[in-house]
Structures are given as structure tokens and as C-alpha cells.
Structure 1
Amino acid sequence: MHLLSAKGLHIKNALLLFFVFATFFTNAQTKRPNILIIVSDDHAYQAIGAYGSPYHATPNIDRLAAQGVTYANAFVTNSLCGPSRACLLTGKYSNINGFKDNFSRFDAAQPTFASYLKQAGYQTAWIGKWHLESMPQHFDYFKILPGQGYYYNPNFIDMKGDTATMQGYCTNAITDLTLNWLQQRDTAKPFCIVVGEKATHRSWIPDTADFGAFDKVDFPLPVDFYDDYKDRYAASVNDMNIAHSMRLGYDLKMAADTGFGKDNYTRFTVSQKRYFDKYYDSIYSDFKSRHLSGRALAEWKYQRYMRDYYATGLSLDRNIGRIVDYIDKNGLDKNTIVIYTSDQGMYLGEHNFFDKRFMYEESFKTPFIVRYPQLIKPGREDSTLVMLLDVAPTLVQLAGLQVPPDMQGKSLIPVFKGNGKHFRYEVFYHYYEYPNEHNALPHFGIRTHRYTLIRFYDPKKRQKKINEGSLLIKDYNPKDYWELYDLEADPHEVHNIYGKNKNSVLVKKLKEDLNSLIKKYHQADAETILSGK
């Protein structure tokens, strides 16, 4: 009897231990993750190795991709710096969150993923570029760049509203502030930190350590570099054309134009100025000796643009490595979701463009790479249609909360698990800003896996023309018209086939789907335009 009791006690203890360990492992697997979001500015997906770039410029971003998932079809809702960030924060389209263009002011008191995470016990921070014309709220800590910020010796605004200058290169400074916050955070709480990078925004200025890094690369011209914009009025009147709009001084640091110096040159220290002058003066001297014009000048400007742009991205990638290394070396990697994205894509000479805004692929699509070992198998590439709009609901659900019904994005958790086949069949886009320095006409549209249908429109009520630094914002006569592209037959979107198909079953179905999305996302402006009222 004594032996049976001992045996029974042993079994009971073993079962108890089993349930304790089972509970421990279950809790470990469902523990709310830490959250690290790195948002770059104007970083083109086609400049990243994981998306096919051959120049070995992004080894740390590529490492994240190898350890996580790369989304080939990630889209923004509105390809402009501030509006895209507002959508990321709120999970709502621009017409709902109130930040339609860079003339807007973001109501930072409205609910954001940060406000919900704070309710769930998270410690929250935003460091770097904010660009929403207001002070952050719902963050336990922030230190932000005023407006666009500067690449060298940038100013930062602290939580008291005070502004101070940090010496050095902006991307390095943002990382230093990020690591300092991570080291001093309350380790008893899960954290969410957003790192807002300035790079690779115009005008592109590399760190002194990266001057000339790509000067031996001869970048091939995009196949549509000499696009004639046939049947595409908005593209034909744009002012983001490398050949005609890219400025030798402001954009390319050639002394013929003082626009660059007004905002940046006077910020250099003596040492920084010496490096800068030594590098760019020699390029300018060579340029003057060539007496370039026509296509030769356009192609020279393209090469300078690409070399500066890629070199500016080197520090971005290097500093992403520093931050991720901290996560990994401190044992946080297994329970931290790391998201790398940009506020939109960027044209790297496609259509002869060098900005964003248009709904064409290079601007509409954005890099989106996620590492989260709890749910994501490493090294995956995924073609699911996802959006920056989906980040907020995803983070809220990962924090153990119900997704608020007024968020318009969708949680990506099923997609992380590989169940994205029926996640989304089309995406909706709406760009509002007019006038603007690049003469981009407002437009909205729908993009499916195969087709893109765009409606350009005259905004009627126009803002006054303004000056952007020394750049005069021009005016022109907008037109209401449609564009349609078959992305399988025409991936570069140079053949507008709407005219041939406007009465087709295809266009009828696309317009029906577009109308459904307009109603779903409460796009009253678009609904009015389509109704002709």
C-alpha cells in the first residue's frame, strides 16, 4: 500500500510538472511580442538586394529578408511622405485620418496603434522623421526631426518641445538615439519603437564615409527611360523628369545652382565641408569640361542621381544592421517582430522620373520585409497583396487586443502564417495633393494582381501656388481621364489600353470593383467625381 501511494504520488508530481511546463511553453509562444518598425523615406524596393538589385547595397536588409518574409506586392494608400505615415499609424485611409497631403496637419490625438499598445501595457517610442506637422501623442518617448530634417548635424525636437542640434550624420544620430532608448527602457514591459529614417529622401547626401562608393558603377538605363508618355497626359506634364526637372545644384550638388547650399551647405562643420568639397568639386570640374546637352546630359544626370542615391542608402542599411544586431545580441530576436518598410516607393529613372506620387508600380509599391520567428518561416517570398494600412491592425492583434472596427486595414497574422491566398484581391489608391512642385495630377484607382485602372481628375478647388524653397510650383490645365494597364503584357506601364477597352467586360468589372472599394473606404470625393456631380 505504501509503495502504491509513493508510485501514485510520483505520477501525480510528474503530471503536475508536465502541466507546468506545458503552460510555460504555451505562454512563451503566445507572449506579446516586442515591436521594432523601421520606416525609411523614398527607399525604392528595386534598390534592395532582396527585391533583385544587383549592387550589394543592402546586406543588412537582405539579412532580415533571409530570416523572414519579403512581400513582393506591398502597397501604400497615398504615395507621399506624411500621408503614408498617417495611414501606417492609424490603419485608415487619408480621407478618414485627415492627412491627405503635405499641406495637412495630423491630429495626433486620434487613436493610433500606439494608443492601443499603451492600453495593453506597451512602452512606446518614435525616433527620427515624423513629418506630420504636429507633435506625437500616445508615445512614452519621442525625439523627432523638424519637418524633413537635415542629413548633416540635424536638429531634433524633444518631448518638451525644445530643439537641439546633434553633431554628425542624421542616420547615425537616429540609431544612437534608438539604441540609447532600447538600453534604458523598462524591461518589465514589451516595447514598440518606430525608427523614422530620413534617408533616402531628396536631396540625397551620403555620409562622408560613403562618398564615391558607386562611382565605378555604370547603371543601365531603365527600358522606359525615354518614355514618350503617349496617351498619358498626367505623365507628359509632370515636373519630376530627370532630363528637364532634376536640378544640377539642388539635386546633384553641382555649384551651378545654389539651391542646395541654402538648406544644407552651411550646416557642415569645417571637416565635413572639406570632404564634401573635395568630392563634389572634382565631379563638377569634370562635368563643366564635357559641355553636355540633350540625351548625353540626361544620362549624366541619371548616373549622378543613382550614385548619390545608392550611396545615401549605404548608411541607412548599415544603421539598420546596428539596430537589429542589438536586438539579436540581447536575446530579443525570438520574440520581437521586426518590420522594415518605406513610406512609399521611388522612381529610379523609370519613365525618366525621380520622385513618387503616381500610381505606377515603382511608386505605389513599397518594400515590406518582416521577421518574426514565432509565426514566419525564414527565407519566404510572398506575392500576397498587402498594404501599409495593414500594419496597425496587425500590431493591435499581436498585442492581444481586438482590432478596432473602424480600422480599414486587415491583420496580417494569417498572411504571416502563409495563409494569404484569399487575403485580398485588389488594392485602392488615392493621391490628393495639388498643386505640387512636381505637377502630379490627383488620381485614384484600383490595382488587381493583373490590372491597374486609374482615374485622373481636375480637383477644381485648387490651393494657391506656393514656393517650395527656390522651387516654383507650377500650374497647368488638369484633365479628367482614365488609364488602364495590363501588368502581365506591359509590366512597365507604357501602354495605356483604356481607349481600346473602355466598353469591354474587363473595364466594366474593374469599375464595379473600384466603386465597391470607394464605398468600402468611404471615399466621398472619389464617389462624387465618378458620379459627375
Structure 2
Amino acid sequence: MAPVQPNIIFIMADDHASKAIGCYGANINSTPNLDRIANDGMRFDHCYVTNSICTPSRASILTGTYNHVNGVVTLDSKINKHLPNVAKHLRTGGYQTAMIGKWHLGEGTDHEPSGFDFWSVVPGQGDYFDPVMIEMGQRKVFPGYATDVITDQSIDWISNRQKDKPFFLMCHHKAPHRSWECDPKHRHLYQENVKVPETFDDDYKTRALAAAQAKMKVSTDLTYHDLGLVQPDGGSEVGELLVPNRPAFNQRKVPYLENVTQIRLIDKDSGEVFTFKSQDELQYFKYQRYMKRYLRTIASIDDNVGRMLNYIDSEGLAENTVIIYTSDQGFFLGDHGWFDKRFMYEESFQMPFMIRYPGMIKPGTVCKDIVCNVDFAATFLDLAGLPVPSYMQGRSFASLLQGTTPEDWSQVAYHRYWMHRDTIHDARAHYGVRNQQYKLIYWYNKGFGLPGCQDGGEETEWELFDCDKDSLELVNIANDGQYAEILSQMKAELDHKMVEIGDEPEHYLIPERM
């Protein structure tokens, strides 16, 4: 008798850092329901994204291919709905399929979700309150808070499914994406100050120029809207800077005036007034406002994951249902002084990944092997007992779920960030590889006109980190002669990976790849 195909529920948040989940041990917030998945199943400590930005990550998850193959390389890219994807394979293999929540792979008939029996998605980034959703091509307004609405729709779809078929549900939350607007019932949470990261005051002196020049700093680059503050009149006269080319974030940045005593900030909900005696006091105020808004938004994610788990348990579906929780990438929570993502540094590069499947996974287990989001699709198909198509570049890690690491398992993750002209965050284009001990990053900085650049404004830099000795990635050892052999080996590893997946390197004419 053929094994029963499991149901698969894939819950993905947007910008949820691993350290903001209790089971990952940072102790900055409480997530009892997310922790249930890890406690009942497996937590992955080395799950990595192939491109640390929303749209490309989602494309790799759906197709099982790297971004140079699926064509979705930046936030402005749109997926071709005629491409094969995991939902299409599962539906052909007997599954009912649904996509509910954040899509962010383009709108219109050429880019809408395909391979799904039902879909209801937010346009663009979506709204936190009373969200508009496009349901099977029709726009509808759903009263309520977005995380509740997406969960309501997901549970409703499961309730009304065809009961004699297995199902595949992609439940994609908008939260906790910027601008971190929490459900009002959670505004009272996290009154005590959040622990400040060790690297918050990073000066970037040992790293690539790209790290120092990124416009993602908590101290200078958050807006009034980000921090839940009233925006006063005055503009540049009161020291504000406009965020360029981003209508959704077209609020001015909170000033960082030389004379900090001139600044009065006002809470938009309570009217409380904040004044400051020093620059340090101001920047730590911004950090606490940012973190508390972020963590309060996650509280609703945790509540709603609990609702989903309780529903599955109450319906007697738990034993034969795979439940996954992840994020489309990591996120900087003040680490190195940053918010946002994009970079290959660990806080942005690492994705949280927890999975519960009682029929296969021993409770409370932890996997230290390296997996990537490009592996998800192949794993879903393998768990469903369906063949993995030859075009998929990812590999099923189903054996890892059972505690067995194949001898030929590749302990290497590849990352490439393609947004060469990111004028908002000034995050430079780069690619690289990470194995269990070392990480190599190549900054090719295409077209930025950096100091010292020649002929077209290009400068390249290498970074190498020993992730065992320097887990915070504070010391670039690429130019340390003691690591010359390691650097050479990692460059060879990078070359091998690019050949394997068919990606094209940028500057092969540079002598000795340096």
C-alpha cells in the first residue's frame, strides 16, 4: 500500500530574524507558539537565503531555482507565471493547493499566482489594517489586522477543502515588514528596554567599504513613520532628510542634529514628548522604538501560528501534516548598527526554519547542516512522494529531517545580491559562499563611482570571515597572510559553485581574482 501523502503548510513571515524567535536563544522576546514547532519537531541553525531580499527569495522558494535562472533578481523583477513551480507539480501529483497572503512577485495576468486552486494575495507590500487582497483576480477589502486576516483565510480554506485529497498551503504573512505596525492589543508589550547587540556601535573599520556606506543605520536612516512619531513641519530646516525614490516610505528621516537638545520627538498615539541630552541618548532611543515596534508586530504572528497549530490539532490532522515556519530572509535588529537586510552578513543571510512532522521528525531536534531556500521545493516534493524535476537546482533535505546527513551533502551556501543601484539603502552588489567555518564575500560594486575607482566607476573588494572564531563577523581576514591558503580555497569553492549552478561571475579579468 502506498504511503499517505502528507499535508504541507508552509508559513512564511517577511523580515523575521531568527534571534526574534524564542527557540533560537537570543532572549529578546517571547514566541511560545513558534517555539512549539521547534519543540515538536526540528530547528535548523544554518538555513540560508540565496538572495537576501523579498522578491528573489520568494521566487527561489517557489521554483527551486537560483535567481539568474528564474529571472527574478531584484525587487522590481516579476515572475513569469508560465514557469514551472512546486505548486504545479504538487497539484499534478494529487494535491489541492492555495496561496494566501503576501505574494510580491508581480501583479496582472502574466505574474499572478499560478499552480494554485485558490489564491488571495495582498497587492505589493499590502496594508497592516483593513488590507485589500486580490482574490482570484478580484480586489476585496478585508476588515481587521492583516496577520489575523491572512490566518482567517488560511483556516477557512483548509476547513472547506476537498477532504479526500492532501493539501499544500502557502500562508505568507506581511508582518513583520517595515513599518512595524502592531495590532493595538499588543501595544502594551515590551515596556522594558530590549538588549542592545554587541555590535550596535560597529565602526566598520576592518570591513569592506560597502559596510560603512550602507544607509541602513538605526542612528540615522529610520523615518518618523518607522518609529511611530509625529512628523513636524520644517523639512531640511529642522535637519530632516527625505527618503528618495520610495513612495511607500516617502517620509523624512528623524534628524540627527549636531545640537541634539533642539530635537523634540512626539509619539503619534500618546502625544508623549521626548527630548535628549546627547547623541548617544538619541540613537539608543531610536533603537528601542524600532525594536519594540518590531517585536510587538511579531506577537501577532506568534498568536496566529498558535491558532493554526490549535486548529490542525483539533481537526486530527497533526500526525500527517508538515508544518513549516520560516521567513523570506533574515533581518538586522541593530546588529552592526543596522536595520533591514540585503547583505550576506549572518543576521541577514540566515533564515529561521522550524518544521514539525510527527510521522518523520523526532521532537526537539536541531539540524546543524547547511540548507538553502532553493532546497525547499525539492523537499516538499520528496515529502509528498513525488519526483523532483531535473530543472530544479535545489536538493531535498528530507533525509536531514530523519537525522541522517548524506555523505555527499554540500555544506556550502551561495548568495548573490543583484541590486547594483540601490539608491535608498546604498547596499552594494555582491556574491559569495559560506561553508561550516568560513564565509567569502566578493563586492563587485558595479557602477557606484566609489573612491579610487577607475574607468566606469568600479571597485572590487573581498571579505573573508572565520565564522567559528569571529561569529559576529567583525574582522575581515582576506588580506591576512596567515589565511592566504584558506582564501584561495574559498575562491575555488566560489568558482566551483558558480559553475555548478550556471551563474556568471563579474570580474574574471582581474589578476588572480583579487
TM over 0.5: yes
Q: Which runs of 4+ in 1 moved over 3 A?
A: 257-260, 262-265, 279-284, 530-533
User: 2:420·2:445 contact (CA, 8 Å) conserved in 1?
Assistant: no
CA distance in 1 between partners of 2:483 and 2:96 (Å) = 55
Where structure 1 has 5 or more consecutive residues not aligned to the other structure, the ranges are: 1-22, 266-278, 463-475
CA distance in 1 between partners of 2:128 and 2:325 (Å) = 20
CA distance in 2 between partners of 1:516 and 1:115 (Å) = 31
Cα deviation 1:146-183 (Å, max 9, x = unaligned): 00001011100011x22121111000000111111011
Shift of 1:80: 0.4
Number of matched residues?
472
1:427 corresponds, among 413, 436, 454, to: 413
Q: Who is 2:172 aligned against?
A: 196
User: 1:384·1:421 contact (CA, 8 Å) conserved in 2?
Assistant: no
Paired letter, 2:162: D
Paired letter, 2:104: H
What secondary structure sits across from 2:16 in the alignment? coil
Structure 1 57/257 Cα, relative in aligned 2: closer, same or farther at 3 Å? Answer: farther
Q: Who is 1:389 aligned against?
A: 374
Matches within 5 A, 1:98-113: 98-113=71-86
Q: Who is 2:327 aligned against?
A: 342
Matches within 5 A, 1:381-460: 381-420=366-405, 422=407, 423-436=409-422, 437-460=424-447
Shift of 1:108: 1.9
Indicate whether 1:506 and 2:486 are aligned: yes
Q: Who is 1:167 aligned against?
A: 143
What secondary structure sits across from 1:505 in the alignment? helix
CA distance in 1 between partners of 2:497 and 2:305 (Å) = 36
Structure 1 501/83 Cα, relative in aligned 2: closer, same or farther at 3 Å? Answer: farther
1:135 corresponds, among 83, 108, 112, to: 112
Paired letter, 2:398: I
Q: Who is 1:67 aligned against?
A: 40
2:473 corresponds, among 456, 475, 493, to: 493
Q: Who is 1:250 aligned against?
A: 225
CA distance in 2 between partners of 1:477 and 1:285 (Å) = 47
Q: Who is 2:58 aligned against?
A: 85
Identity, % of aligned positions:
38
Q: TM-score, normalised by structure 2?
A: 0.88
Shift of 1:478: 5.6
Structure 1 292/192 Cα, relative in aligned 2: closer, same or farther at 3 Å? Answer: farther
User: 1:212·1:307 contact (CA, 8 Å) conserved in 2?
Assistant: no
Shift of 1:124: 0.3
Shift of 1:301: 0.3
What secondary structure sits across from 1:60 in the alignment? helix
CA distance in 2 between partners of 1:446 and 1:263 (Å) = 33
Cα deviation 1:391-425 (Å, max 9, x = unaligned): 10011122222211121111011111111264222
Paired letter, 1:128: G
Question: Which has the higher Rg, Structure 1 or Structure 2?
Answer: 1
Cα deviation 1:300-331 (Å, max 9, x = unaligned): 00000111000000001100111111111111
CA distance in 1 between partners of 2:371 and 2:293 (Å) = 30
Shift of 1:246: 1.3
Cα deviation 1:439-486 (Å, max 9, x = unaligned): 100100010111110000132499xxxxxxxxxxxxx96631101111
User: 1:457·1:480 contact (CA, 8 Å) conserved in 2?
Assistant: yes
Which protein is richer in helix relative to its size? 1
CA distance in 2 between partners of 1:318 and 1:496 (Å) = 41
What is the RMSD of the two structures over their aligned residues, measured on CA atoms? 2.2
Structure 1 330/501 Cα, relative in aligned 2: closer, same or farther at 3 Å? Answer: farther
User: 1:150·1:264 contact (CA, 8 Å) conserved in 2?
Assistant: no
CA distance in 1 between partners of 2:482 and 2:412 (Å) = 20
Q: Who is 1:480 aligned against?
A: 460
CA distance in 2 between partners of 1:221 and 1:93 (Å) = 35
User: 1:40·1:341 contact (CA, 8 Å) conserved in 2?
Assistant: yes
Shift of 1:257: 5.8
Where structure 2 has 5 or more consecutive residues not aligned to the other structure, the ranges are: 234-241, 251-265, 450-455
Cα deviation 1:234-262 (Å, max 9, x = unaligned): 01110000111112x121011126999x9
